[in-house]
Structure 1
Amino acid sequence: MPMKTSGVSTASREELAGAVALFHGLSDQTRLAIVRHLTGGEARVVDLMRALGLPQSTVSSHLSCLRDCGLVHGRPEGRQMFYSLARPELLDLLTSAETLLAATGNAVALCPTYGTDRTTR
């Protein structure tokens, strides 16, 4: 019989591990902003720096994480690297998330644990 921890069996945890890793990778505001920007097409680090107002080290660090997760692909051209979404399904996921947020009236933002107003409570 599978051992239960926090109400979730070991088997369920193993089945959910990939999804947990995916959503954890996208849970950072900077990584999500980078992915969202890349839905418009390829971009270089300098393009992302300008668009997001972030330092090069931050953008590069988050791109490395996204690349390691298989969500972003880098295409070298000369001395530059052009980044793009590695899988078109990621665009579908973002579109579905926006549809869900609109359908719930952005109720997630009111969540006392993860909502946008949690720091002022």
Structure 2
Amino acid sequence: MAIDPCLPDLGPAVALFRSLGDPARLAILRRLAVGEARVVDLTRALGLAQSTVSKHLACLRGCGLVDYRAEGRQSFYSLTRPELVDLLRSAELLLAETGPAVALCPVSGDPAVARTAS
């Protein structure tokens, strides 16, 4: 099937939403939407291992969604674009309206939720 050359390339949008699709990365982004944080702050706030937080921060940095500033021996992570906060808020509003349908979606929903609903 040929793709219409007049349509925009959806690859970057797919990659963006894939980067938001991991629960740990999404939790990190939601925490950073409040303000900058160090790895130790994120591990405490989210209950994740340091190695997990570091791995996901590296991914988010690679996607250009997060960056850091060094202060002495510490690194403070923050969101690179304020639009990301708007995107997260929009997603929360959308989920407030469609959450059950999204969770039960047979393709992209949570299989555990779908099993308990049936």
TM-score (norm 2): 0.88
Of residues 101, 105, 118 in structure 1, which corresponds to 2:95? Answer: 101
- Report deviation, 1:105: 4.5
Structure 2: unaligned runs, 5 residues or longer: none
- Report deviation, 1:67: 0.5
- Report deviation, 1:113: 2.2
Between 11-20 and 96-105, the greater mean CA deviation after superposition: 11-20
Between 97-106 and 28-37, the greater mean CA deviation after superposition: 97-106
- Report deviation, 1:86: 0.5
1:39 and 1:53 mapped to 2: Cα distance?
Answer: 17
- Report deviation, 1:112: 1.7
- Matches of residues 31-110 of structure 1 in structure 2 within 5 Å? 31-110=25-104
- 1:14-47 deviation line (CA, Å, top 9, x unaligned): 6101101100111011000000011110100000
- Matches of residues 6-21 of structure 1 in structure 2 within 5 Å? 9=3, 11=5, 15-21=9-15
RMSD of aligned alpha carbons: 1.8
